[in-house]
Chain A
Amino acid sequence: MNQAHVDFVLRIADDSLILGHRLSEWCGHGPVLEEDIAMTNIALDLIGQATSLLNHAASLQGEGRTGDDLAFLRFDREYRNLLLVEQPNGDFGMTMMRQFLFDAYRTILFERLQSSSDEMIAAIAEKSLKETKYHLKHSSEWVIRLGDGTEESHARIQESLNTLWRYANELFYTDAVDDEMRNAGILPDLSDLRQQWENTVNHVFQEATLTIPANNWKQEGGRKGMHSEYLGYILAEMQYMQRAYPNMEW
């Protein structure tokens, strides 16, 4: 087993799983019925991506575990998702801003991963890219609508940006795992990731009349399993059945 390869896949998988979980919390509580449908649809895409990726990680591990085992039986220190995706939903604007910052990054990542030498990752990236492009369209339209809507919506979404901006830097986190994956051809060149992401984000924020906060405080740790306090509660809820009734078929 190549640990870096497993970690690399888990990082992508956990982003999908945890963000999918957060979005699914909205189900039945959206601001309009159409958004209930859209958010559940996006959650469903993300859970689907997580399933494919976790199954792949489990097979790379080769220890007889399944994707479900990885989702439901790992502890929070073993989770590799970004801090951004575990942040609470807040109001609808906070959810859309979180989604937008993430989608802008994910679109570029999946575009590149289509040429990964890991054929499974390439195939998952190709399928997920189609979904993610739609997610980005949806979230960026809402960021613009709320930013350039009413005074109240502008103030709210600007506040969401101010809150979430500290987690944006982690999108570009790299360490030895990435180096090893790049050397193996599994991770294509991403040296312009930040530049490409900033192009998208600056363009949308300009249309939305939003200002990037001057505060450059950068919070990270998720990729190494150092999470915020929120993740423990997400997992307590998500893993409840598997922890309470171990080793059963459902």
Chain B
Amino acid sequence: MKEVNITELERMFQEKIDQDIKIEPKDWMPDDYRETLIRQISQHAHSEIVGMLPEGNWITRAPNLRRKAVLLAKVQDEAGHGLYLYSAAETLGADREDTIDDLHSGKAKYSSIFNYPTLTWADMGAIGWLVDGAAIMNQVPICRCSYGPYARAMVRVCKEESFHQRQGFEIMMTLAKGSPEQKAMAQDALNRFWWPALMMFGPSDGESKHTAQSMKWKIKRSTNDELRQQFVDVTVPQAEMIGLTLPDADLTFNEATGHYEYGEINWAEFWEVVKGNGPCNKDRIDTRRKAKEEGQWVREAATAFAQKRAARKSA
């Protein structure tokens, strides 16, 4: 009898999804749907938080006051995105502290792009332009995701990401029309970040183990390769406009399809970075873990203080 009920519930659930009715925290949902969302939303939250580090690396060295303020504001936005996303994951029953522990133990993943170092000021431009640009491509469809809290969080996140993308492009544009050293700095940043940015869309559709089910559940609305193609189509003309060259000898425009065709992505590198073997994986996680450990006494004090005050109030 119970078996039948579950099948019936699943049928009704899928019906709602097919009719584009949002799933809300208190609605019944299949365990796998819940788990997939927790995995995806917490990965997304971790990416925001770990993503603060490569850009945080340049705040104290920003070249002028305006750039410093904009960069600070951007990194602060990312912390804010992390906060909404952890809250969205909590609506599914995922405890924020446990989720963070999974990040620190290596169980939970985050976007592999943040495991590349930021070596020059131009990297702030490349990250804003390419990484936030790719993030927008990934996230705009999530505004229509079937899970209400995630979709709503994404609407706000996307607005801010589009400002981030513009400020990054503006940094690159300024460098590209600057001195020869500045232009070389911009080109070097593009060379280093282009391929990792393409990898941000995840494995090719044939290799992506979650895509089919996530599409059916409308957690995902486009495939990895579709999104990657959109990103290439938008970004190549932007690079041309500011006189920078994409580091891909095979890049060509196909008149018939109206799309750019790009060279082979180095998937071996992608999987190595995902596994933890990128240039900064260890540093990033060590930094996050250290922040948590060093903040332990502060969190304990806050809890103890709140308890003392509550006790005094009720006494």
Q: Which residues of A contact B (CB under 8 A)?
A: 21, 24-25, 27-37, 40-41, 43-44, 47-48, 50-51, 54, 67-68, 71-72, 91-93, 144-146, 148-150, 152-153, 156, 237-238, 240-242, 245, 248-250
Contacts and interface: CB of A to CB of B under 8 A. Distances in A.
Contact of B301 (A34, A47, A150): A150
A102 B164 CA distance: 32
Contact of B295 (A32, A41, A67): A32
Which of A31, A148, A156 counts the most chain B CB atoms within 10 A? A31
A75 B308 CA distance: 48
Given A28-B56, A245-B179, 5 more contacts: A41-B76, A67-B65, A72-B63, A149-B304, A241-B61
A31 B76 contact: no
A242 B290 CA distance: 32
A31 B69 contact: no
A109 to B, nearest CB: 21
A249 B121 CA distance: 13
Contacts of B181: 245
A249 B171 CA distance: 10
B53 interface: yes
A134 to B, nearest CB: 15
Contact of A149 (B60, B64, B182, B300): B300
Interface stretch (B20-28, B36-44, B79-87): B79-87
B302 A145 contact: yes
Given A27-B56, A93-B298, A237 B61 contact: yes
Given A152-B300, A153-B301, A249 B76 contact: no
A26 B301 CA distance: 19
B22 to A, nearest CB: 27
Contacts of B296: 31
Contacts of A29: 287, 290-291, 294
B295 to A, nearest CB: 2
A48 B60 contact: no
B300 A150 contact: yes
B60 A31 contact: no
Contacts of A156: 297
A21 B61 CA distance: 10
B75 A27 contact: yes
B305 interface: yes
A31 B63 contact: no
Across the A-B interface, the 8 shortest Cβ-Cβ residue pairs? A31-B295, A149-B301, A153-B301, A241-B63, A250-B63, A31-B298, A28-B52, A40-B76
